[in-house]
Amino acid sequence: MTPALPAVSTLPAAAVLPVVSVLPAVSALPAAAIALVAAVAPTALPPHELPHRPPYALPEVSMPLHNAPRRDEHPLSVNPFLGPANPVGGMTEAPPKHRMPGAPMAPATAYQLVHDELMLDGNARLNLATFVTTWMEPEAGRLMAECRDKNMIDKDEYPRTAELERRCVSMLADLWHAPDPAAAVGCSTTGSSEACMLAGMALKRRWARRNAGRYPSKEARPNLVMGVNVQVCWEKFCTFWEVEARQVPMEGERFHLDPEAAAGMCDENTIGVVGVMGSTFDGSYEPIADLCAALDGLRERTGLDVPVHVDGASGAMVAPFVDEDLVWDFRLPRVTSINTSGHKYGLVYPGVGWALWRDADALPEELVFRVNYLGGDMPTFALNFSRPGAQVVAQYYSFLRLGRDGYRAVQQAARDVAGGLAARIGELGDFRLLTRGDELPVFAFTTAPGVSAFDVFDVSRRMREHGWLVPAYTFPANRQDLSVLRVVCRNGFSEDLAALFAEDLARLLPELRRQPHPLVRDKNAATGFHH
């Protein structure tokens, strides 16, 4: 069995002060890391008054839409042990659910009402659907609590928080082999969805510049080439910014983009090609170097010079540490921009992401706005305005705390857990593995040939009864015939938890095998996990 990742406190402390703008090579103890971050972004609260729990995480840039509820409903039930809602405020009746109460209530009462409502949420640590970080050290939570009132956009009021953002950009530029890290430009975002929107906007604006004589016109509708497996944010980008989405379908056992097929879809209206470092469908890397080579060939044949954006939402924080020889980043001249999610394998609570461009030429100046910063101008590029600085501070803490060696240990441990769990599931005999967690610590599997009593949707439903949240979904064109389960292994999902998962799955199989047929009828309603 692969040895487990050692306790975080046993990782070696840095022997010298870390360089502030390059990801340190070794880990720092939590106390040392938090002290360094606090020295840069001090808090007005004394240590004994600092909360020890992180604030609730913020969502990605997209939000669900809700209809107003009907009014024929029961009010919230208040436990008699909590007493009157607030005698001073005069509230004598239970508060309504969908209207703001007329009077205040005691904070303990409000807390208990909300707390009890949330008890039926799934356990985040057992959520094997999400890529999002669900565990951080208490020291990181303390820093986030100290910074929860800092607005990231107020760079003049919070200059040290802005400085930590700048350092994170510099560290990522170095990590992703920018030709000149000092010349690379980048920014923090609310997550990869916003980062992808920004990267897409830059691609479109650069294309419009090159085609100023033709655009806008009916003959010059911009298009973006990508695999059908891309995250939904790219479809949103194309819809919001009126770009034609040209998607390379899956074929056979190829579940992501084919480089030659992608190059064949390009024409004079192509703003770029998106390559994905870590498909959300099966955890596989797309062959970015082969994609760039195919586009190099296209240029030689036709003169078309098509840039590549790498969507590294997960893989851009995995490959640099455990696949160091894999060339996918700014070492490829055709790669103009990269994004990642700090709140995925960047090991930070949601929501923070990053977008980087190899140099200033890759980001059109007219997209950049400037804000006052210490009496001068600071360039900014964002879709959002107000957002918390806590997640950026937590990202800097993680870079400082773990360093390259610490990230390598964490990501390798997650990959080892994924590989071990995939092997155990494969040995059960009822399933066929599509991937084995040897790229992203993520794998997908389906039912084996000949299994007809149950399907992946039955498995997802039954595992949920044991507390495990496992997504089941159908692949897109041209593999709509294939439905799979996917397991995402993250920091905090240990070998012990993986063993419990495998045991629960094995325990369910005899009952599933006795079913006359798959029981889940509505496949669309069976899972809402694919993201």
What local confidence, expressed as pLDDT, does residue 102 receive? 83
> Which CATH number goes with the domain that contains 297?
3.40.640.10
Q: Which of 100, 125, 150 is the last residue of a domain?
A: 125
For residues 64 and 108, the model is more confident at 108
Residues 285 and 377 in one domain: yes
pLDDT level of residue 94 (50, 70, 90 thresholds):
confident
Record the tokens describing residue 340, joined without a space: 């990642």
For 2, residues 6+ apart whose C-beta sits below 8 A from its C-beta are 416, 419, 420, 495
In this prediction, residue 3 carries a pLDDT of 43
- Domain membership of residue 39 (yes or no) is no
Section 139-149 average pLDDT = 94
Residue 410 included in any domain: no
- Give 379's strand partners: 370
Residue indicated by tokens 């999002």: 132
Residues 345 and 229 in one domain: yes
Q: Which of 98-107, 232-241, 398-407, 517-526 has the lowest mean pLDDT?
A: 517-526
Contact in structure between 531 and 280 (CB atoms under 8 Å):
yes
Average pLDDT over residues 509-518: 96
In a domain? residue 513:
yes
Task: Note whether 458 and 516 are within 8 A (CB).
Answer: no
* Token pair belonging to 365: 């100046």
- Please tell me the distance from the alpha carbon of residue 130 to that of residue 490, in angstroms, as a whole number: 9
The residue written with tokens 């389906």 in the block is 446
Q: What confidence score (pLDDT) does residue 443 get? A: 98
Shared domain check, 370 and 320: yes
Express each pLDDT in 158-193 by its tens digit.
889 999 999 999 999 999 999 999 999 999 999 999
pTM: 0.84
Torsion of CA 226, 231, 234, 235, to 10 degrees: 100
**Does 145 or 10 have the greater pLDDT score?**
145
Q: How confident is the model at residue 87 (pLDDT cuts 50, 70, 90)?
A: very low
**What SS3 class is residue 113?**
helix
Residues 472 and 435 in one domain: yes
Q: Classify residue 212: in a domain, yes or no.
A: yes
Confidence of residue 527 (pLDDT cuts 50, 70, 90): low
d(CA 58, CA 110): 21
Cα–Cα distance for residue pair 2/420, rounded to 1 Å: 8
Residue 327's domain comprises: 159-398
Beta carbons of 371 and 199 less than 8 angstroms apart:
no
Interatomic CA distance for residues 354 and 165, integer angstroms: 10
| 302 domain residue, yes or no | yes
Residues 101 and 237 in one domain: no
Judge whether residue 198 has pLDDT over 60.
yes
Half-sphere exposure of 371 (CA within 13 A, CB side): 14
Q: At what angle do helices 30-40 and 390-427 cross, to 10 degrees?
A: 150
Same domain, 180 and 281: yes
Residues 375 and 439 in one domain: no
pLDDT > 90 fraction of the chain, expressed in percent and rounded: 66
Q: The tokens of 188 are what?
A: 């923090």
Domain boundary, last residue among 125, 149, 179: 125
Query: What are the tens digits of pLDDT across the range 412-444?
Result: 999 999 999 999 999 999 999 999 999 999 999
Is residue 522 one of the residues assigned to a domain?
Answer: yes
pLDDT-based confidence at residue 326 (cuts at 50, 70, 90)? very high
Could you tell me the two tokens for 319? 């490959």
Q: What is the pLDDT of residue 380?
A: 81
How many Å apart are CA 437 and CA 133, to the nearest integer? 18
Tokens, residue 94: 């239970």
* Cα 140 to Cα 144: distance, rounded to the nearest angstrom: 6
Res 41: pLDDT = 55
User: CA 99, CA 116: separation in Å to the nearest integer?
Assistant: 19
Instruction: Give one DSSP letter per residue of 171-217, joined into a string.
Output: HHHHHTT-SSTTT-EEEEESSHHHHHHHHHHHHHHHHHHHTTTT-SS
CA distances in angstroms from 151 to 158, 234, 388, 393, 493, listed in the order given: 8, 28, 5, 12, 32
397 and 136 in contact (C-beta within 8 Å)? no
Average of per-residue pLDDT across 319-335 = 98
Q: What is the pLDDT of residue 376?
A: 64
For the chain, what is the domain count? 3
Which residue is associated with the tokens 């950009």? 169
192 with 303, same domain: the answer is: yes
Closest CA to 165 of 458, 357, 397: 397
Answer yes or no: are the C-beta atoms of 111 and 82 closer than 8 Å. Answer: no
Pairing of strands 223-227, 244-248: parallel
Judgement on whether residues 93 and 178 belong to the same structural domain of the protein: no
117 and 168, same domain (yes or no): no
Q: What is the pLDDT of residue 4?
A: 43
Residue 347 has pLDDT above 70, yes or no: yes
8 Å CB contact between 352 and 190: yes
**Beta-strand pair 472-474/483-488:** antiparallel
In a domain, 88, yes or no: yes
The sign of the dihedral angle between the CA atoms of 404, 409, 414, 416 is positive
Residues 109 and 256 reside in one and the same domain: no
Mean of the pLDDT values across residues 81-101?
A: 65
Q: Of 125, 144, 177, which marks where a domain is finished?
A: 125
Lowest mean pLDDT among 46-50, 403-407, 482-486: 46-50
**Residue 525 and residue 29: Cα distance in Å, rounded?**
46
What CA–CA distance (Å, rounded) separates 396 from 24?
11
State the pLDDT at residue 506: 98
Residue 139 lies in a domain: no
Per-residue pLDDT band for 6 (boundaries 50, 70, 90) equals very low
The reply to whether 92 and 220 lie within a common domain is no
CA 71 to chain CA centroid, nearest Å: 37
Mean pLDDT for the stretch of residues 314-320: 98
Residues 6+ apart with CB under 8 A from 171: 21, 22, 23, 399
240-287 pLDDT tens trace = 999 999 999 999 999 999 999 999 999 999 999 999 999 999 999 999
- What pLDDT, on a 0 to 100 scale, did the predictor assign at position 47? 37
Angle (deg, nearest 10), helices 232-240 and 192-210: 40
| Total residue length of the chain | 531
